Homo-oligomer: A and B are copies of this chain.
């Protein structure tokens, strides 16, 4: 039994994974590719077409996306097809919403504190 509590122990993504996801999303070409892939899968050359960039340069972007786990690819004949892998988008979303919760909690506490000051008649 290598992993007890497998059902509940959904381990948090490592920092390195989150690094990769945010990094991959920090480039406009790569974000654009992600956006286009969320509509439908596409081949490397289809994806490359809109950009004024040499093929090897563009493929580098696809490699970054694939390394981050945001997309996956499969080759059939001479065509490599890319697909969005939505779980990794969720990793980023989760991190952000966790921050939002923390932040909002803090603001609520601040509110409560200010309210108490007011109620206690402090000026």
Contacts and interface: CB of A to CB of B under 8 A. Distances in A.
Tell me if A's interface is mostly helix, strand, loop or mixed. helix
Interface in A65-123: 84, 86, 89-90, 92-93, 95-97, 99-100, 102-103, 106
A6 interface: no
Oligomeric state, in number of copies? 2
Given A15-B28, A23-B23, A100 B93 contact: yes
A92 B39 CA distance: 20
Nearest to A36: B102
A47 interface: no
Contact of A26 (B23, B39, B84, B89): B23
Contacts of A103: 38, 84, 86, 89
A52 interface: no
